Amino acid sequence: MKSHFYFSAAVIALLFVACSQSTSFTNTLLKPWEGPYQGTPTFDKMQVSDIKPAMIKAMDLSLEEMEAIASNPEAPTFENTIEEMERSGKVLDRAFAYYGIFSSNMSSPEFREVQTELAPLFSDYQSKITQNEPLFQRIKTVYENSIEKPLPTDQQRVVELTYQGFAMNGANLDADKKERYAAINKELSTLYTQFSNNVLHDEENYITYLSKNQLGGLPEAFVKSSARIAESKGEKGKYAVTNTRSLMDPFLTYSTERQLRKQVWTNYYSRGDNNDEYDNKGIIAKILKLRRERVELLGHANYPEWRLQNRMAKNPENALALMEAVWPAAIARVAEEVADMQAVADANGDNITIAPWDYRFYAEKVRKGTYDLDSDEVKQYLQMDKLTDAMHYVAGRLFGYKFSPVPENSVPVFHQDVKVWEVTHKDTGEHIGLWYLDPYAREGKRSGAWATTYRSYSTFDGKTNVLASNNSNFVKPAPGEALLISWDDATTFFHEFGHALHFFASNVKYPTLNGGVRDYTEFQSQLLERWLSTDEVIDQFLVHQKTGAPMPDELVAKIKKAATFNQGFATTEYLASALMDMKLHLADPTDIDVGVFEQETLQSLNMPKQLPMRHRTPHFSHVFSGEGYATAYYGYMWADVLTADATEVFREAPGGFYDKEMANKLVTYLFAPRNSIDPAEAYRLFRGRDASIDALMRARGFPPVFNN
């Protein structure tokens, strides 16, 4: 969607006037992008000091554009109202590209101060648009006219999405309720920023330093990387385990030091929950109250009812039904996994009862014993550079894309680690866009992996190319060393690249249609994960980091045989977070104690005590640093129903995963339309029917669900 729908809220009119008068297009963040490839952001010139004046000026210009549309004396039409809205906001879009880099990739204490100051201004900005009564009346007129006389399909979709976006954000409310709605959004925007900054604080400040005699079991590559990190933090001779998943996960898998495993585990899962000034539980309680109050203004009983009305699930009951259908099988599998691990611990004479900080460690031992599969052995064949080549190969086979590194220094980047490729069509040479890759963890970069765009495709007012990026948090290897990653991390790498391909494959006219439905947009990326384990990728790109020999057939067989290993853990930790997200927002928030609610809900679910939620509530950034995944975290599983179903189609196709006919259908129906047609209809066009949960259960090795 256009940038004026990304944030919730507004700014005081006098502040806009004062700042806009003192700010000009000498500000780097506001300038049109120049140079090759239809112009690119000057990331190498951006400065924190430019952020606030640029964002305020850009919002001011956007509001002027909206006011011009709203005050047009001519009768409202699609062309003079909706199309003009689609045309607006280009300066703000450019400014947000830089803001997003500072927020996600290059944060600093100085930026966080600016971010905190801007949060309520962003909220005021959106409120000024969604509560512009003349503007909304024009949109409403076009919408109502389109019901009587439907427009061409893509125009009809834009009108419906635009009207719905305004209506869902209070445009139909009376003046008093609009005022309260805007005030709630403004307060929420500040709380979201506080939540994010608290999590980032705990990630940056809880570091476990090891001495040489505490390295038992840790792989050589891990030791070298942690030594380099410690030295960079002024602790030469020690070994640092930073408070991020990229280091926590392998440490818990391999370290023989149980007390240290407990410490690292506790640091990670206590982010935002240390009962200090950075504790997030009180912030969450406020967020839940405000979200409930806001949707009640709109006549909804609870936040999920409001949020899911335009998602594939349609309502919280449907989302819960899916999760609750899978949950019993997931926790039953956990019980089996724990029993297997406890048997290994007992046989070793370890004299312990499996605890959460033991799960990964003993699961790895079970994996070795049951499947003769050593995760560290697998990692020797998973080099990030080779996996990057593999993703490009898959994109070439399915989409016809060619990825070529751009000449050095021809495209500005915000950090020396960022690499850029030009994307063209293999057959025609047509330029499609640029792909940026920012692979390494560093201070100031948010944890996890994600994909984003700096510019999206459209053919409105001329065809625009795509500037898309993938971002990871791999631990940078020592100079001259290959970056080796786990199978799970390789899967995530492919997943996020699936999002990038979704951006590149877009074939829509209007910018709004590049948006997505949250419980559908994860489908395309989850589907692309399946190509990691295809023979073509394994044979060509999974080669030993030292010998260059391809992965042996027997190791490949072990990996495929163990495909459903530890699915109890993976499914349960995810589903617990998704269920918690939904149940928190369905609960009465009046006097909610977030810590108690989390404990009691997990008890009611019979949550296995040997593992935590993937994202505990106090650091659940998907849900509480903004609203993108709020009551929508279930969407990964909803999308995985589609993924498992579609995977079986490719598996059964004559050409397998690289079948040309299926690849064409994949691009035509699942990737290219973006949000130009209803997702359920798009899937039916691809599959010929709706997806079935049975494929999901088969994919995870769970017994089938029987519906009476």
Tokens in use for 345? 């611990």
CA distance linking residue 156 with residue 137, whole number of Å? 17
DSSP 667: I
Check: CB of residue 29 under 8 Å from CB of residue 95. yes
Query: Which residues, other chains included, contact 173 with Cβ-Cβ below 8 Å and sequence gap of 6+?
Result: 181, 297, 298
DSSP 511: G
Q: Cα–Cα–Cα angle for 672, 678, 681, nearest 5°? A: 90
CA distance linking residue 667 with residue 605, whole number of Å? 40
Note every long-range contact of 299-302, with CB atoms under 8 Å and residues 24 or more positions apart, other chains counting: 302/585, 302/586
pLDDT-derived band at 9 (thresholds 50, 70, 90) equals very low
What are the beta bridge partners of residue 422? 404, 434
pLDDT reported for residue 437: 98
Q: Where are the alpha helices (DSSP H) in 7-89?
A: 13-22, 48-70, 83-87
Mean pLDDT is lowest, of 12-16, 299-303, 374-378, for 12-16
Check: CB of residue 507 under 8 Å from CB of residue 457. yes
* Residue 206 pLDDT exceeds 80: yes
Check: CB of residue 580 under 8 Å from CB of residue 634. no
Kindly report the length of the chain: 708
Q: Mean of the pLDDT values across residues 46-65?
A: 97
Alpha carbons within 13 angstroms on the beta-carbon side of residue 661 total 8
- Residue identified by tokens 């089996």 is 336
pLDDT reported for residue 12: 27
Mean pLDDT is lowest, of 15-29, 117-131, 153-167, for 15-29
* Crossing angle for the helix pair 316-347 and 567-586, to the nearest 10 degrees: 140
Give the DSSP per-residue string, 630-645. Answer: TTTTTHHHHHHHHHHH
Check: CB of residue 320 under 8 Å from CB of residue 203. no
State how far the alpha carbon of 692 is from the alpha carbons of 309, 644, 699, in Å: 21, 9, 12
pLDDT in tens, 441-475: 999 999 889 999 999 999 999 999 999 999 999 98
Q: 3-state DSSP call for residue 7?
A: coil
Tokens in use for 372? 């003769």
CA distance linking residue 289 with residue 589, whole number of Å? 5
pLDDT-derived band at 707 (thresholds 50, 70, 90) equals low
Q: Which of 259, 251, 239, 15 is nearest to 125 (CA)?
A: 15
CA distance linking residue 547 with residue 354, whole number of Å? 38
Give the H/E segment covering residue 424: strand 419-425
* End-to-end C-alpha distance for the chain, whole angstroms: 41
Bridge-based pairing state of the strands 431-440 and 466-474: parallel
State how far the alpha carbon of 578 is from the alpha carbons of 195, 218, 328, 339, 704, in Å: 19, 32, 15, 25, 21
CA distance linking residue 510 with residue 267, whole number of Å? 46
Tell me the domain boundaries of the chain.
Answer: 3-130+132-169, 206-269
pLDDT in tens, 566-575: 999 999 999 9
pLDDT in tens, 318-368: 999 999 999 999 999 999 999 999 999 999 999 999 999 999 999 999 999
Burial of 532 (0-12, 13-18, 19+ CB in 10 A): buried
CA distance linking residue 509 with residue 152, whole number of Å? 12
* Residue 67 pLDDT exceeds 50: yes
What are the beta bridge partners of residue 48? none
Q: Which of 184, 180, 63, 78 is nearest to 126 (CA)?
A: 63
- Residue identified by tokens 């903004």 is 626
Tokens in use for 499? 């999002």
Tell me the CATH architecture of domain 3-130+132-169: Orthogonal Bundle (1.10)
Mean pLDDT is lowest, of 464-468, 690-694, 701-705, for 701-705
- Other CB atoms within 10 Å distance of the CB of residue 334: 24
Query: Which residues, other chains included, contact 140 with Cβ-Cβ below 8 Å and sequence gap of 6+?
Result: 163
Check: CB of residue 314 under 8 Å from CB of residue 308. yes
pTM over 0.75: yes
CA distance linking residue 59 with residue 93, whole number of Å? 10
Q: Which of 702, 231, 253 is nearest to 478 (CA)?
A: 231
Tokens in use for 205? 């400040």
Q: Which of 215, 264, 263 is nearest to 237 (CA)?
A: 215
CA distance linking residue 498 with residue 451, whole number of Å? 9
Tokens in use for 672? 């290219």
* Residue 382 pLDDT exceeds 60: yes
Q: What is the mean pLDDT of the chain?
A: 94
Q: Mean of the pLDDT values across residues 229-244?
A: 95
Q: Which of 374, 447, 440, 417 is nearest to 621 (CA)?
A: 447
CA distance linking residue 185 with residue 294, whole number of Å? 8
CA distance linking residue 268 with residue 205, whole number of Å? 11
Q: Where are the alpha helices (DSSP H) in 71-89?
A: 83-87
pLDDT-derived band at 706 (thresholds 50, 70, 90) equals low
